[in-house]
Amino acid sequence: MTRAFVFPGQGAQTIGMGKALADHYPAARAVFDEVDDALDARLSDLIWTGEIEALTLTENAQPALMACSLAVVRALEAEGIQIADGAFVAGHSLGEYSALAAARALTIADTARLLRQRGQAMQAAVPVGVGAMAAILGLDFDALTEVAAEAAEAEVCQAANDNDPGQVVVSGHAAAVERAVALAKAKGAKRAVLLPVSAPFHCSLMQPAAEAMAQALADVTIAAPVVPLVANVTASATSDPETIRAQLITQITGSVRWRESVLYMAGQGVTEIWELGAGKALSGMVRRIDRSVTCTAIASPDDISALLAAQA
């Protein structure tokens, strides 16, 4: 089987995530220690015993989810399973940073600092309440692109996340997103739900955050990943560090082309995708995109034990 490793985005966070891995694998615990040191804060305490409201803050959730994903990577490496044995890495939004750290293009410390800056910059870009995001079920990306354009009415409204054939997220000014929800329902959407997010990610309102990340990324060393990254903004693979740097900036305001990314990997011969980190959202999306691709979500020592038993 040709395998790809994928990494979740914001929304998968839970209190206690990664604790069992850290207790079971010294290499996994070392990831959390490294993130704590890089941020000069006990993020691990917040992840394991804190309040979900604090963990959900963008500046905390982003490095926390990366830490959990990298803890899984290090635990798998301790069992002899290497990222370099895969064909690709990919991540959903912030998960792209986790993918790059997993593939040794970024250090864990740099990734933690970048994600804290990214979270702060994205939150600061738009005052709370000005923007919104909504998940639309039952219309495809092309249809929602038209809906968003019609709903904008001189404000910002964009199709932000092409998650799978039946789920697209729109983002922009709150009133425009509400108009898009109504329009989508009128055009046959099965369901349209405003998301509990604090900012309108992946639309042009995030331009101040893109500019902040351009500065942050300019000072960071990016190496060629050990396997190619399938980038959110192009839905195609690259291993060139400067291309990756540019794409990470574009990603802040650009659409997450997840459906196309999965189809690209399947078209390149990928038959098995492992989701490393909190939750199983990406596995569900992959199944809805291409049922011929086998999905495995790995977040705990029990998941790894089951994986090893299945491979024995």
Q: Which residues are catalytic?
A: 93, 202
Instruction: Choose among 117, 116, 122, 171: nearest CA to 144.
Output: 171
Q: Are 132 and 178 in contact (CB under 8 A)?
A: yes
Q: What angle do CA 225, 228, 233 make, to 5 degrees?
A: 110
Instruction: Choose among 195, 174, 169: nearest CA to 257.
Output: 169
- Number of helices (H) and strands (E), helices first, in the chain? 14, 10
Instruction: Choose among 132, 168, 143, 149: nearest CA to 255.
Output: 168
Element (H, E) at 306: helix 301-311
